Amino acid sequence: MTDNKKRKKFIFITSEAGTPMIGVFSDLFHDKRAETIEILPYMKNPFLRFIRKVHCSARINSILKLPFREKWHNALDDIKWEQNVEYNIIFISYTFAKRPISYWDNLKRKYDIKYSLYLLSANTSFAARSLKMDIAVNEFNQKVGFKNILTTQPGDVEKYGYVFCDCCFSMTEDNTPYTIENDLYLLNNSKGRLKKFHEVYEYLRQKNVKLNFRIVGVNKKDQLYPDEIIYNKGIDFQENIKEIKKSNCLFEVLGEGQSSPSNHYFEAVCYNKKLLTDNKNVVNLPFYNPEYMKFFEKPEDIDCDWLKEKIPVDYGYDGRYSPSRLIDKIIELEGKTS
């Protein structure tokens, strides 16, 4: 039985410092209940950074488990663990795979720790399948145990019995006014969507739609418009927010196996922007408004006049997607099982 006098502490495990994930979960920096840990802190030495990336690669370790991964400096090693605290460690996506299972098991044996997993992409996605993450999740569950597995994907709720939770977006406090400079903005990884991105781009440029497309993960031979589309140049979270605010509409194309909205939906709702999406379930989402959100299957479906039209957009966002509510959800789940 858990000692009721113990303090609760929630530790969120993200990946390397500087990733967009950290910006998305930035609300947690202001929540006194939470501590956010980048499991692999930034390293100045590029050679060591590369060696560590390879050594701790989830993809490589899904094929061959490399020894001594726990020897790399881990931000968790800096925590002053206490016996009178009940720890809830929440792995954001597959960050648990950055360390051997034995590391997490030993930690749990020493302290009062419960592990939860929060999956941001579908188990059926290309990335998850290539990393054999369903196997990794099952292995961790059997040897150490997840108290809760939560997901943003309704399909994984039905297939695996995970708990649905869409508390995965933080707003920034930047009140700087921006002038609208483009009609449609895209920042995304190509991952099986490049053909569709290019088809839409080709169609809309003929209609004189002002486009700001940034696509990463594109081979040089596939860069059809190197003078017009920005390829393989990512921007940080704050810079992305600036580009969003300078755009009339955001562009969303779901990845393979994805059944829930991407960050672009949350960005549109939080920053009051139109959304052009290929998500046919958009009509069922909480903030759907036919004036602000449009579904398309092929480029010819797109209403270019709507993309260009400047209208006041207000979804009445109430903060429901804040990651701080993820803590509330875990507390709620604990109450049901206690």
Per residue in 15-30, pLDDT (tens digit) is 754 444 557 788 888 8
Q: What is the pLDDT of residues 40-58, one digit of tens each?
A: 666 778 888 889 888 887 7
Q: Is pLDDT of 253 > 70?
A: yes
- Please list the residues that pair with 214 across neighbouring strands: 187, 230
Residue 173 maps to a domain: no
Q: Is pLDDT of 289 > 90?
A: yes
Task: Check if the beta carbon of residue 279 is closer than 8 Å to that of residue 265.
Answer: yes
13 and 160: one domain? yes
Between 147 and 129, whose confidence is greater? 147
> Residue 151: helix, strand or coil by DSSP?
strand
pTM: 0.82
> Residue 210: helix, strand or coil by DSSP?
coil
- Tell me which H or E stretch contains 115: strand 113-119
Q: What mean pLDDT is predicted for residues 163-176?
A: 86
Task: Check if the beta carbon of residue 101 is closer than 8 Å to that of residue 140.
Answer: yes
Closest by CA position to 122, among listed 131, 109, 112: 131
Between 155 and 324, whose confidence is greater? 324
Q: What mean pLDDT is predicted for residues 209-220?
A: 96
Domain containing 78: what range?
7-168+321-337
Res 333: pLDDT: 92
- Tokens of residue 225, six digits: 């418009």
Residue 174 maps to a domain: no
Res 126: pLDDT: 45
Between 99 and 336, whose confidence is greater? 99
**Cα–Cα distance for residue pair 136/12, rounded to 1 Å:** 19
Indicate the number of domains in the chain: 2
69 and 214: one domain? no
Q: What mean pLDDT is predicted for residues 116-127?
A: 68
Res 18: pLDDT: 44
34 and 143: one domain? yes
According to DSSP, residue 174 is labeled -
207 and 327: one domain? no
Task: Check if the beta carbon of residue 266 is closer than 8 Å to that of residue 288.
Answer: no
Closest by CA position to 233, among listed 223, 248, 242: 223
Res 42: pLDDT: 66
7: amino acid identity, one letter: R
318: amino acid identity, one letter: D
Q: What mean pLDDT is predicted for residues 114-138?
A: 70
Q: What mean pLDDT is predicted for residues 92-111?
A: 89
Q: What's the CATH number where 196 sits?
A: 3.40.50.2000
Proportion of the chain above pLDDT 70, given as a percent = 90
DSSP for 247-276?
EEEEEE-PPTT--S--HHHHHHHHHT-EEE
pLDDT mean across residues, the chain: 87
265 and 290: one domain? yes
Residue 88 maps to a domain: yes
33 and 161: one domain? yes
- Tokens of residue 159, six digits: 């297939």
Q: Is pLDDT of 38 > 80?
A: no
Residue 176 maps to a domain: no
49 and 130: one domain? yes
Closest by CA position to 86, among listed 3, 1, 8: 8
- Tokens of residue 231, six digits: 């390829």
Q: Is pLDDT of 106 > 90?
A: yes
Res 39: pLDDT: 66
Q: Give whole-number Cα distances, 334 to 27, 225, 312, in Å.
A: 22, 52, 42
Which residues, in sequence order, are CB contacts of 94 under 8 Å at separation 6+? Answer: 58, 128, 131, 133, 136
Q: What's the CATH number where 22 sits?
A: 3.40.50
92 and 225: one domain? no
